[in-house]
Amino acid sequence: MAVIEDFITKMDKSIVSLKESLSTLRAGKVTPQLLDKVTVVAYGEKCLLKSVAQISGISATDLQVKTFDPSIIKDIISGLNKADLGCTVTQNGNAVILKFPVPRISSNKPRNTARMARSQSATSAAMPTMPSRKMLP
């Protein structure tokens, strides 16, 4: 039974990894998960953006990043610009607004999205193989 439990554990890790990588894929409207892997240098340390700011969607094409500490707003803007997200970054008081361009819908868009999803699923954690019957009790 330990072999089956080990297989289930590995499979769960693979599914979690795939969900995380697919959540960063932009298929329609923008979501805060697009910024999950964005890092900023704040307080002299490299850290995830979501650990120093609150990220929320304000429209289908815009995200708002509200910093917990206004003194690091320039660090957040710098990190967002370095992330090369393909959006316009503007400061609005203690918040940063990210405006993503509205993609023109074409017949290639669904194919390109599917291609990117396949690519991400192939690069996520390797899917474990089912143990052979010889190994099972």
Per-residue pLDDT tens digits for 59-84: 888 999 999 999 999 999 999 999 88
Report residue 31 as tokens: 């979501």
For the chain, list residues with pLDDT below 70. 1, 20-28, 102-110, 113, 120-137
This prediction has a pTM of: 0.59
C-alpha span between 28 and 35 (Å, rounded): 15
Give the distance from CA 51 to its chain's centroid. Answer: 14
Per-residue pLDDT tens digits for 45-64: 999 999 999 999 998 889 99
